[in-house]
Amino acid sequence: MKELLKNLNKAFENRIRLGIMSALVVNDYLDFNALKNLLGVTDGNLASHLKSLEKSDYIRVQKEFLDRKPNTKYSASDEGKLAFIRHIKAIEQLLK
């Protein structure tokens, strides 16, 4: 049991961070508004969770302008994808 629990990642224990990573692992990238609408969260709530994942190097951030409006795109880093897959596999093993 301890072996299974050690693969659970605290970064993904929160449902919003779990949702962010789930969305980013299956998409090349998503912008801020797409994530906000998908997860049904406020700007501030989403921003704080994105910052936490960015500090862990689990996501990449790309800022650009579209029609003179700022647009921020997020994608899962290779390290983030591996950590997330490890976390999901640990959950699957616990459920068996």
* Under 8 Å between Cβ of 29 and 74: yes
CATH class name, domain 15-81: mainly alpha
* Residue 82: DSSP 8-state: H
Q: What pTM, to 2 d.p., does this model score?
A: 0.90
Q: Is 16 helix (H, G, I), strand (E, B) or coil?
A: helix
pLDDT the model gives residue 9: 93
Q: Which two tokens stand for residue 33?
A: 């508004």
pLDDT the model gives residue 32: 96
What single letter denotes the amino acid at residue 57? D
Tens-digit pLDDT string for the chain (96 aa) = 677 688 899 999 999 999 999 999 999 999 999 999 999 999 999 999 999 999 999 999 999 998 999 999 999 999 999 999 999 999 999 888
Domain ranges of the chain: 15-81
